[in-house]
């Protein structure tokens, strides 16, 4: 059985004020670094085979900080880069609502393309890391795309808020992906 702990990157300044980041490469803020450190401390209690990350620095640095505690191979995969939100990148929720009340952002990556890209990445993990335990450090929209796909639409961004530095456990068993846990944050001091 292939097991993946899907982790959202730590907080950025744009997360804190509600700006949509997408493919814009924003660094972690101080709280995001602390969240990544707490993830590493918690994950050190168990055994993992590989950590895979998006190339964007907020995810990659989160992965590197986690890996400083567990010291396993780290792999960057383009398939898990955050969704491109087109003209909406950099706008706050209020600005997006005023400018694009229909939630359609000019030049954004469509949901089908995102889902195909992300699921191709999961297939690659399934093939290259069969029966291994994988940490996957990625982004909110990417996580929501994975959850929507493997839950047959029961979960999606309208129903599930993915917290920064949360854990979502999925596994591939009996020829399909299954969700084991969702949006776990008990390892983060801000929730204790």
Which of 38, 82, 108, 109 is labelled catalytic?
A: 82
35's tokens: 């969240």
CA 72 to chain centre: 19
Q: How many CB atoms lie within 10 A of CB 19?
A: 20
List the beta strands (DSSP E) in the chain. 2-8, 50-53, 74-76, 133-138, 167-173, 176-184
Domains of the chain: 2-191 (3.40.50.1240)
Taking the C-alpha atoms of residue 155 and residue 147, their distance in angstroms, rounded to an integer, is 6
List the beta strands (DSSP E) in 20-166. 50-53, 74-76, 133-138
Taking the C-alpha atoms of residue 158 and residue 46, their distance in angstroms, rounded to an integer, is 32
Specify whether the CB–CB gap between 67 and 74 falls below 8 A: yes
Residue 82: active-site member: yes
Residue 187: active-site member: no
Q: What is the pLDDT of residue 188?
A: 95
Which of 9, 11, 108, 163 is labelled catalytic?
A: 9
Tell me the pLDDT of the chain (192 aa) as tens digits: 999 999 999 999 999 999 999 999 999 999 999 999 999 999 999 999 999 999 999 999 999 999 999 999 999 999 999 999 999 999 999 999 999 999 999 999 999 999 999 999 999 999 999 999 999 999 999 999 999 999 988 887 667 789 999 999 999 988 999 999 999 999 999 987
């Amino acid at each position: 059985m292939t097991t993946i702990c899907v982790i959202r990157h730590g907080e950025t300044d744009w997360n804190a004020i509600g700006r949509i980041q997408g493919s814009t490469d924003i660094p972690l803020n101080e709280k995001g670094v602390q969240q990544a450190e707490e993830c590493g401390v918690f994950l050190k209690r168990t055994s993992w085979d590989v950590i895979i990350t998006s190339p964007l620095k907020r995810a990659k640095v989160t992965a590197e900080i986690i890996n400083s505690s567990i010291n396993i191979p780290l792999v960057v995969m383009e398939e898990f880069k955050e969704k491109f939100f087109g003209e909406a990148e950099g706008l706050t929720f209020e600005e997006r609502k005023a400018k694009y009340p229909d939630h359609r952002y000019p030049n954004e990556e469509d949901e089908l393309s995102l889902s195909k890209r992300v699921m191709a990445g999961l297939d690659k993990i399934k093939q290259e890391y069969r029966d291994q335990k994988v940490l996957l450090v990625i982004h909110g929209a990417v996580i929501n795309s994975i959850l929507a796909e493997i839950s047959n639409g029961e979960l999606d961004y309208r129903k599930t808020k993915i917290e920064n530095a949360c854990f979502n456990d999925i596994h591939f068993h009996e020829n399909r992906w299954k969700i084991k846990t969702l949006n776990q944050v008990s390892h983060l001091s801000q929730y204790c």
